């Protein structure tokens, strides 16, 4: 659109943002007969496709191949140190993006009947959205799905030189000699392992604890693996300043005691969280409450303007693609069919795609004890006691579940090979209120890693089943013939 538009568009829905959340709404609504205008100023597909989930997992897959060659000797197969063609690795990443991009493309959505405007958007009153070229849209309902961007904190010196975020690191064509990473969350840990396996030296600096939102018992397994592979991890160190000179970057940091140290490398990655993208929307004129953490929504994902929903990262909640899609599906029910909805945050899974993976859903042990006290039962099953894990030499890991005294599952976490996939039965159990008994009595195929769910659930009954009381009953019955 090159000329200032004057025709007022009156669709059923105006969706602002073409990331996972916005595309879910736009595609679903259009296929169910609603008229939809979709406004996106950046790349179709948003962060997940272009700078997040897809490129990072493609990079991790390449790194895993290199690591498989290094560790093949444990299976009796000797291979030389892999030769890393870094430009070819990044070409693989771009190719994966290109293969998926048509599903999120303008052409596909226009084919569904969506009017796609590649432009900025802002509110001009409580009911009207205007694009940068002056196109006005007055929709029956508006859905804000503008996502989030990397947080860049005001560390002295950081803005004076180049640094990487997840939005720019996949543009690299040359492998970093030494990557310094600020932030030990999922993004920092995943990219630390990927670049180390691809041949870079890696130093990771975390102000608190590695993967601090997850259970420490499980994160210890990830920490040990990263350290064993050569990632230099410095926890409880807070960056105080950054200096860059002659192609080198130096981070000065301090610990809780006030001691200071400097960490030097060739490249700096800032992975310190994400912030909502809402500053250019002119929310105040539309009567939409918001804070620095995101747009304020109720349980039904409505903003303080009852005609406007906000979904996905922009609400400041869990920042995962599957949560964005979940929000989008809920809003379709409300906006199109006027059905009541309630977004739940208690049964939302998350996965960190390191090797081993770390996946969790529901309450952690600490959270469960805070809510239920001594009524909590903690169940464990180590991967080392699972035959398929032994066959694959993938015995680092465990399943940990928490239940109440009645066997109601409160949460589950897994660290180990394919943990994200192995979380599936626990997700279903939490969503449907399935008791631990159902997992304990299911028939799992042997030998598979899926046995870990059955074995973990079975641990709930082990103390009773193999007790002195059970032995007495068995002996009594045996005397009866």
Binding site as annotated, residues for FAD: 57, 146-148, 313
Which pair of structure tokens corresponds to residue 435?
A: 């008791």
Cα(4)–Cα(14) distance, rounded to whole angstroms? 19
Residue 370 CA from chain centroid, whole number = 25
Per-state percent for the chain, helix, strand, coil, to nearest 5: 40, 25, 40
Distance CA 277, CA 191 (A): 23
Please name the helix (run of DSSP H) or strand (run of DSSP E) that holds residue 15, with its range, or none: strand 13-16
CB atoms closer than 10 angstroms to residue 394: 18
The angle that helices 321-337 and 20-31 make with each other, rounded to 10 degrees, is: 30
| CA separation for the pair 462, 341 (Å, rounded) | 40
Could you tell me which residues are annotated as the binding site for NAD(+)? 183-190, 206, 273
Binding residue numbers: 57, 146-148, 183-190, 206, 273, 313
Q: Compute the chain's Rg from CA coordinates.
A: 25
In degrees to the nearest 10, what's the CA dihedral of 188, 248, 59, 318?
30
366 membership: H or E segment, kind and range: helix 365-372
Q: How far apart are CA 309 and CA 296, in angstroms?
A: 10
- Strands 36-39 and 13-16 come out as parallel
Contact residues for 195 (Cβ-Cβ < 8 A; gap 6+): 63, 175, 176, 179, 202
The four Cα atoms 230, 234, 238, 239 give a dihedral, to 10 degrees, of -30
d(CA 455, CA 458): 5
Angstrom distance (rounded) from CA 210 to CA 204: 9
Q: Cα separation of 188 and 192, whole Å?
A: 6
Q: What is the SS3 assignment for 27?
A: helix
């Amino acid at each position: 659109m090159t000329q200032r538009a004057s025709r007022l568009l009156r669709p059923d829905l105006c969706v602002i943002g073409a990331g996972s959340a916005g595309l879910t709404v736009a595609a679903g609504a259009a296929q169910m007969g609603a008229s939809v205008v979709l406004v996106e100023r950046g790349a179709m597909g948003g962060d997940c496709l272009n700078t997040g989930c897809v490129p990072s997992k493609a990079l991790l897959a390449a790194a895993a191949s290199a690591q498989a060659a290094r560790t093949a000797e444990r299976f009796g197969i000797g291979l030389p140190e892999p030769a890393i063609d870094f430009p070819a690795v990044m070409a693989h990443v771009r190719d994966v993006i290109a293969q998926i991009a048509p599903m999120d493309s303008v052409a596909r959505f226009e084919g569904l009947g969506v009017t796609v405007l590649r432009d900025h958007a802002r509110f001009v009153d409580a009911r009207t959205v205007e694009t940068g070229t002056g196109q006005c849209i007055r929709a029956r309902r508006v859905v804000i799905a503008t996502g989030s961007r990397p947080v860049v904190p005001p560390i002295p010196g950081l803005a004076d030189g180049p640094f990487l975020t997840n939005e720019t690191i996949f543009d690299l064509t040359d492998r970093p000699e030494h990557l310094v990473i600020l932030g030990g969350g999922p993004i920092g840990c995943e990219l630390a392992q990927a670049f180390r396996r691809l041949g870079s030296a890696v130093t990771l600096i975390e102000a608190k604890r590695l993967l601090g939102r997850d259970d420490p018992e499980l994160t210890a397994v990830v920490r040990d693996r990263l350290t064993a592979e050569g990632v230099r991890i410095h926890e409880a160190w807070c960056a105080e300043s950054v200096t860059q000179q002659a192609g080198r970057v130096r981070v000065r940091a301090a610990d809780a005691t006030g001691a200071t140290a400097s960490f030097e490398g060739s490249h700096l990655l800032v992975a310190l969280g994400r912030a909502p993208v809402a500053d250019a929307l002119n929310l105040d004129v539309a009567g939409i409450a918001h804070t620095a953490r995101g747009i304020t929504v109720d349980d039904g994902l409505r903003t303080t303007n009852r005609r406007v929903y906000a979904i996905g990262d922009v609400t400041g909640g869990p920042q995962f693609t599957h949560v964005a899609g979940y929000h989008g599906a809920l809003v379709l029910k409300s906006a199109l069919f006027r059905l009541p909805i309630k977004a739940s945050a208690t049964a939302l899974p998350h996965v960190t795609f390191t090797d081993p993976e770390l996946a969790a859903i529901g309450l952690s042990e600490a959270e469960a004890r805070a809510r239920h006290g001594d009524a909590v039962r903690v169940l464990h099953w180590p991967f080392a006691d699972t035959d398929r894990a032994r066959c694959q030499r993938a015995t680092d890991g465990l399943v940990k579940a928490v239940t109440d005294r009645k066997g109601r599952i409160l949460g589950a976490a897994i660290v180990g090979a394919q943990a994200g996939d192995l979380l599936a039965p626990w997700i279903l159990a939490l969503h449907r209120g399935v008791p631990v008994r159902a997992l304990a009595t299911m028939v799992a195929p042997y030998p598979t890693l899926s046995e870990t769910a059955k074995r973990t659930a079975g641990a709930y009954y082990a103390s009773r089943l193999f007790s002195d009381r059970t032995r007495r009953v068995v002996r009594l019955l045996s005397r009866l013939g």
